[in-house]
Amino acid sequence: METRDDIHVIEKVLAGDTAAFASLVNRHKDLVFTIAMNICRNREDAEEVAQDTFVKAFQKLGSFRKESRFSTWLYRIAYNEAISMVRKSRLTTVALEEEITEAMPEEDVETEIAGMDTGEQKTVVRKILARLPETDRVLVTLYYMDNQPVSEISAITGLGESNVKVRLHRIRKKLYKELEAFISKKNFV
C-alpha cells in the first residue's frame, strides 16, 4: 500500500508537481533522520544529511526504477550520504565493549527487563544502542524498528544478505550482554 502510494506521488512529481514531493518527505523523514542520526551521532549533521538525502532523491527521481521500493532507494541514499559525512568529519566510533564474561540466561534478562517501567526500558535501550557501531545501529533501526526484510537491508547498506544476518545475530548477542551488564550493575547497587 505504502509502495503504491509512493509510486503515485513519484509520478505526480515527475509530471511537474513539485509540491507533491512534500508528502514523500513527510512519510519518510523520521526514518531518514534516524538513519542519519545513527551514523552521524549529532542532530545538526543528521539534519543536513537528511535534507541532502531528500534533495538528491528529488533531483534523481527520474532514475528511480519503480520495480524496487522507493523507501529502499531513499534509505540507501541516506545511508551513503551519512557515511560520506562521517568520513569527511572523521568521526571515530566507540566500539561496544565485549568484556562481559558472566553469562546470564536470556530468559532471565528478558524477565528483569520486562520488570522495568517503560521509561527506564527506553533509557536503557537508547544508551546501549548509542554504543553500537554506526552500521549496526542502522541495521537495528531497519530490522527491528522499520521491520525491513534482510534483502532490503542488504540493498540499502550494500552488505551481503548473509553478512546482514550474521551481523544481526551478533548485535542481538551484544544487546543481551549489555542488558545483562546493566541488570547486574543495577542489582549490585
| 18 lies in the site for another protein, by CB under 8 A | yes
Give the footprint of another protein on residues 39-58 (CB under 8 A). 43, 46-47, 50-51, 54-55, 58
Our CB check for another protein shows the closer of 39 and 159 to be 39
Q: Shortest distance, CB of residue 67 to another protein, whole angstroms?
A: 25
Type of residue found at 19: A
| 32 lies in the site for another protein, by CB under 8 A | yes
Say how far residue 47 (Cα) sits from the centre of its chain: 15
Residue showing cell 554506526: 134
Instruction: Kindly indicate which of the ranges 20-28, 70-78, 80-88, 96-104 contains the residues binding another protein, using the contact rule CB under 8 A.
Output: 20-28
Q: Shortest distance, CB of residue 142 to another protein, whole angstroms?
A: 11
Whole-angstrom distance, CA of residue 113 vs CA of residue 119: 11
Nearest to 128 by CA among 68, 186, 184, 181: 181
| 64 lies in the site for another protein, by CB under 8 A | no
Long-range contacts made by residues 14-18, C-beta under 8 angstroms, separation at least 24?
14/61, 14/62, 18/58
| 70 lies in the site for another protein, by CB under 8 A | no
Our CB check for another protein shows the closer of 44 and 99 to be 44
Whole-angstrom distance, CA of residue 97 vs CA of residue 69: 36
Helices marked H in the chain:
2-14, 21-40, 43-59, 70-89, 106-114, 118-130, 134-140, 150-157, 161-188
Give the footprint of another protein on residues 141-180 (CB under 8 A). 141, 144-145, 147, 172, 175-176
Binding footprint of another protein on the chain (CB under 8 A): 18-19, 21-22, 25-26, 29-34, 37, 43, 46-47, 50-51, 54-55, 58, 106, 110, 113, 118, 121-122, 125-126, 129, 140-141, 144-145, 147, 172, 175-176
